[in-house]
Amino acid sequence: MADTRLRQIFIKTGVVKRYAKEKVSYEKEAENEQKRILKFRAENRDEHDIRKQEEVIQENLMMIPECQRRLKTAYEELSEMLKNEKDLEEKDEYIKAVAALKESKLQLQ
């Protein structure tokens, strides 16, 4: 029985980590694309190139709220699971899950 619960904790921990990482990645990409647009404008690049880069940023920015929503859901699911499985507190998977929740909490804000 405990093996199944630990496996579920392990899986949900991976999901939380992945969504947190994905959100950070989209935010960094949007920031880099914004810098690229500023560079294009400073170089007086073709307006078509600038518009295409702006489209890339818009697509990227649309993904951030979706990542935020998925992260919040995964965070809540893992938190609830850990509350219900207090008897596993000494297990490595449980400890890693708690650490993942602490790390990803910053991305929820």
pLDDT in tens, 59-94: 999 999 999 999 999 999 999 999 999 899 999 999
pLDDT classification of 49: cutoffs 50, 70, 90 = confident
- Check pLDDT > 90 for residue 25: yes
- Structure confidence at residue 2 (pLDDT): 56
- Structure confidence at residue 9 (pLDDT): 95
pLDDT in tens, 30-41: 999 999 899 988
Residue range(s) defining the domain that contains residue 88:
15-106
- Check pLDDT > 90 for residue 97: yes
- Are the CB atoms for 11 and 77 separated by under 8 Å? no
List CB contacts of 27: < 8 A, sequence separation 6 or more. 64
Residue 54 lies in a domain: yes
Largest Cα–Cα separation, the chain: 65
Residue 27 lies in a domain: yes
Lowest-pLDDT range, 10-19, 23-32, 42-51? 42-51
- Are the CB atoms for 78 and 103 separated by under 8 Å? no
Q: 59 to each of 17, 48, 70, how far by Cα in Å? A: 23, 17, 17
Q: What is the CATH number of the domain that holds 101?
A: 1.20.58.90
- The pTM score is 0.84
Other CB atoms within 10 A of residue 44 CB: 8
Q: How many domains does the chain have?
A: 1
